Amino acid sequence: MFFLLSVPLVLFSLGVVLARSPVRSALSLVVALFLLAVMFFLLDARMIAALQVIVYAGAIMVLFLFVIMLLNLQHEPVETARPGQRTIAGAFAVVFALVLGAVALRGLPTMPGPGVEVAVTPSFGSVESLAERLFTRHALAFEVTSVLLLGAIVGAVVLARKIPR
């Protein structure tokens, strides 16, 4: 089941980066986010799964597509990088991948293998347990998020409204 989801997930994630047309890129991201939500669902995090779809796939990505369509970007001309840039970036990427791979290889043997049931309380992933964490342990973060959104709204309005004469 995991591979049934994770392989397309990785493929669509790659699609986000590799697709030439911005619309296809955005759509790949939508599918990837949706698959991620399904993964959350299988991990018993039902609330998170639903929120993932509502917020990311349903709201944010629609706005993305909306903007792409308004600008009517069909095929963005690919910016040609400076000659050395690609090599250097590639080298960094390879090094980073190697480091992560090394970590994964070192960490894997200690991970519980498939078939090992991880004990999960019945309330795991429920709305109640999420609310409890959110409004006790992370109460400050919750409040700060509202400040963040308010600040972002003010900023967006300032930048987007008509220039006063």
Partner 1 sequence: MLTVVVVSVIKALIVIGMVLNLAGILGWVERKGSALIQDRIGANRAAIFGFAGAGLVNTLLADPIKFLTKEDVIPRGVDRLLHTLAPCVALFPAIVAFAAVPFGDRLRIGDMVVNLQAVEIDVGVLFLLAMTSLGVYGVVLGGWASNNRLSLLGGIRGSAQMISYELAMGLAVVAVVLTYGSLDFQEIVRRQGHMIGGWIPAWGILYQPLAFLLLLIAGIAETKRAPFDLPEGESEIVSGYFTEYSGIKYLMFFMTDFVEIAVVSAVVTTFFFGGWQVPFLASEGFVFPWGWSVPLPHVVVVLLQVAAYMVKVFIFCCLQVLVRWTMPRLRYDQLMWFGWKVMLPLGLANLVVTALVLLWIQG
Partner 2 sequence: MTTLAFPDVAWLPLLPLMVIGATALLVLVADLFSEGPDYDALGWLGLIGLIVAAVCAALLWNQSGSTLAGTLVLDRYGLFFTILFAVGSGLTLLLSMNYLETTDIRSGDYYTLLLFSTVGMVLMATSVDLIVIFLGLEVMSIAAYALAGIWRTQVRSNEAALKYFILGAFASGFLLLGIALLFGASGETLLPRIGEVAATGTGEQRLLVTIGAALLLVGFGFKVAAAPFHSWAPDVYEGAPTAVTAFMAAGIKAAAFAAFVRVFVDSLGPLAGDWRGALWILAVLTMTVGNVSALVQRNIKRLLAYSSIAHAGYLLVGMVAGGENGNAAVLFYLAVYTFMTVGAFAVVIALGRRGQPHEDLDDWAGVGLRSPFLGFAMTVFMLSLAGVPPLAGFMGKFYLFSAALEAGYVWLTVIAVVNSLVSVYYYVGVLVKMYMAEGGVEAEATSARPYLFAALVATLAGTFLLGLFPTPWFEIARRSVESLI
Q: Is 126 exposed, middle or buried (0-12, 13-18, 19+ CB in 10 A)?
A: middle
Question: 100: which 2 tokens?
Answer: 């992560």
DSSP string, 130-154: HHHHHHTTTHHHHHHHHHHHHHHHH
Nearer to partner 1 by Cβ, of 13 and 129: the residue is 129
Nearer to partner 1 by Cβ, of 11 and 65: the residue is 65
- From the list partner 2, partner 1, none, pick the one residue 138 interacts with, judged by a Cβ distance below 5 to 8 Å according to partner type: partner 2
Nearer to partner 2 by Cβ, of 4 and 100: the residue is 100
- In angstroms, what is the minimal distance from the CB of 89 to partner 2? 13
Interface residues with partner 2 (CB under 8 A) are: 99-100, 103, 106-107, 110, 128, 131-132, 135-141, 144-145, 147-148, 150-152, 154-159, 163-164
Interface residues with partner 1 (CB under 8 A) are: 21, 23-24, 27, 30, 34, 37, 46-47, 50-51, 53-54, 57-59, 62-63, 65-66, 69-70, 72, 126-127
Query: Contact 33/56 with Cβ under 8 angstroms?
Result: yes
Comparing CA positions, the residue from 34, 64, 67, 63 lying closest to residue 51 is 34
Question: 51: which 2 tokens?
Answer: 């929120």
